[in-house]
Structure 1
Amino acid sequence: MASTLALFLSLLAGQTCAHTFIWGVFVNSVDQGTNKGVRIPAYNGQNGKGGYNNSPVKDLDSIDMRCNVMGDVQAHDTIRVAPGDNLTFDWHHEIRNDTDDVIASSHHGPSLIYISPDPPTENSFVKIWHEGKYESNPFPQAGKWSTTSDIAKNFGHMNVRVPEGLKAGYYLIRAEMIGLHEGDVSWKANPRRGAQFYADCVQIEVTGEGTIKLPEGVSFPGAYSYSDPGVVHNIYCSTETAKPKTSTTPCVTDYIIPGPTVWSGAWPQTTPVSVGPVTGATTATPWSTWIGTDSVVTSVTFVDVKSQTVVGSEKYTATWSEVYETPSATAARW
């Protein structure tokens, strides 16, 4: 059993891949602190427990599409902003500095940002920014995509501005990157493949005297479907080169970003801003060092082939509140 557990932990450590999540937020170029206001996906935890669970969500019908695994659990604090403020979301793979690869170079796809009142309700997420494929290249080049040629090349920085005149209150910002490297077929048709959704939510409090309310938006889950051309898309646009052939997707060069159009009340243009130094931790503790002590494993199951013994699996059911509660500074993630 000990050897099985050791193998399990080694497999978990090896699952980091070059995936990604938000490590921090800059407001008008000033870092608010590592993890502050960010609903970090499960296995990572807060208060120094660390970890590398930056795995994607692939099931479009899962509640995890909203704010990732355990996205209903509040962060310990909320970031105060004002309408017009520049927000820079700092995406990284396994270390929070400019040497990090941010996301695998193969994980081409779009980037999107939504805003919703906190807590979210049905059809409350409003899109305020997106970017998809902005340059096409001949096969076998995938073209230039937001995730790999913009966000990753700019040290993981994704920029947006708080909508002008937005009414004061508590909001969730849902920022997302989508990896389409296996998106030539839907996850529903082939669970070994399918588009990969990396979504994180950030808690903000908008201040000021604004009067503009958000319009009706979309729900997560529900905003995307497996029939969307932006969800099932062959980024390499080829049906002949794979051996054995894995794609029968027609060669489509245009790309339609999934979800609704960008809200007319969003800033028409979002430009990169220079950011200051990072405040707080820049590395995460590998979860193999603490899993099984005070952690909650939510969605990984490892079955030992010989004994057929399940090791380290636990089910977590998200429960989203309909009433806003101020986060407690002493709240525990686990």
Structure 2
Amino acid sequence: MKLSLAFASLATLVSQIPLISAHGGVLSYKFGDATYQGFVPYNTPVGQTSIQREWDTYNPITDPTDASLSCNINGATLAEQLSATVAAGTQVTAYWNAWPHTIGPVMVYMAACPSGCSNADTSTLEFFKIDEAGLISGDLVTGLWGMGELVQNNNSWTSTIPASLASGEYMIRHELLAIHTSDQPQFYPECAQLIITGSGSSTPSSSYLVTFPGAYSASDPGVTIDIYANENETNYTIPGPAVWSG
């Protein structure tokens, strides 16, 4: 009986390996020369210390109106939550797990936390986009996408925090949107907390601000798209607002 249970447990673990390897999230961040480890999913949040908000699964969010779209499931503040102090104008690199999907856009957002990020309900924050990359070259099926470039760059993505951004507490939100399936989009959002320093005084106008959920809908051409039905198409509309560069 014990041997049978052992084989059953092994079979369960093996069955999860393709799922975990096929999906994922941000494992660590680099701001200039400083590196911060991310939250470790599938482990208890008790005792974990990170600048990243809690996220509990490698699985995607497939509904653009899902309540967890802001910072993944469950997006909670950690008991030992940290925030990285970063100067405006600094480059930030997000390191993802080994990532097999290469079709879809990469998007990076930030949001001010008026009452402090550790107290923030991320679904109420107003995010602005600071970086994006969609279809870079070629057609929808065989072309180079932002996600393909991320994979080529050792599963990492580097952006620059706008140099003129006003100082204060901010959430940074990295997101991949995998559209390699014809039936539903796959959103992978991750959030981390920052304290931005510097002499900048700029903030985005309301036209750049969105909430999650609310920024996307299933009717957006870049969200619910069958790339295989339009394989020769060479244009793609990245969802969400325009990029604010400061």
Output the amino acid matched with 1:227. Answer: S
Output the amino acid matched with 1:262. Answer: V
Deviation of 1:218 after TM superposition, in Å, equals: 0.4
Output the amino acid matched with 1:60. Answer: P
Deviation of 1:202 after TM superposition, in Å, equals: 1.3
Q: Which runs of 5+ in 1 are unaligned?
A: 93-101, 185-192, 240-250, 266-334
Paired residue for 1:79, among 84, 88, 101?
84
More strand, by proportion = 2
- The residue that corresponds to 1:125 in the other structure is 127
Q: 1 CA distance for matches of 2:138 and 2:191? A: 31
Q: Secondary structure at the match of 1:88?
A: strand
CA RMSD of aligned residues (A): 2.9
Matches within 5 A, 1:98-177: 102-105=98-101, 107-118=102-113, 119=120, 120=122, 122=124, 124-137=126-139, 141-148=141-148, 150-177=149-176
Matches within 5 A, 1:233-312: 233-237=225-229, 252-265=233-246
Residue 221 (structure 1) aligned with residue 213 (structure 2): yes
Judged with a 3 Å threshold, the aligned counterparts in structure 2 of structure 1 residues 255 and 27 are, in CA distance, closer, same or farther, namely: same
Deviation of 1:169 after TM superposition, in Å, equals: 1.3
- The residue that corresponds to 1:194 in the other structure is 184
Deviation of 1:264 after TM superposition, in Å, equals: 4.5
- Does the CA-based 8 Å contact 1:234-1:252 persist in structure 2? no
Residue 91 (structure 1) aligned with residue 102 (structure 2): no
- Does the CA-based 8 Å contact 1:151-1:157 persist in structure 2? yes
The two structures have a TM-score, normalised by structure 2, of: 0.80
Q: 2 CA distance for matches of 1:146 and 1:44? A: 30
Q: 1 CA distance for matches of 2:73 and 2:56? A: 13
Judged with a 3 Å threshold, the aligned counterparts in structure 2 of structure 1 residues 41 and 124 are, in CA distance, closer, same or farther, namely: farther
Residue 180 (structure 1) aligned with residue 175 (structure 2): no
Q: Secondary structure at the match of 1:33?
A: strand
Q: 2 CA distance for matches of 1:253 and 1:206? A: 38
- The residue that corresponds to 1:32 in the other structure is 35
Deviation of 1:48 after TM superposition, in Å, equals: 7.0
Judged with a 3 Å threshold, the aligned counterparts in structure 2 of structure 1 residues 52 and 121 are, in CA distance, closer, same or farther, namely: closer
- Does the CA-based 8 Å contact 2:137-2:234 persist in structure 1? no
- The residue that corresponds to 1:318 in the other structure is none
- Does the CA-based 8 Å contact 2:204-2:244 persist in structure 1? no
How many residues get paired? 226
The two structures have a TM-score, normalised by structure 1, of: 0.60
Deviation of 1:213 after TM superposition, in Å, equals: 2.8
Q: Which runs of 5+ in 2 are unaligned?
A: 50-54, 114-119
Q: 2 CA distance for matches of 1:145 and 1:11? A: 29
Q: Secondary structure at the match of 1:32?
A: strand
Q: 2 CA distance for matches of 1:57 and 1:253? A: 26
- Does the CA-based 8 Å contact 1:168-1:206 persist in structure 2? yes
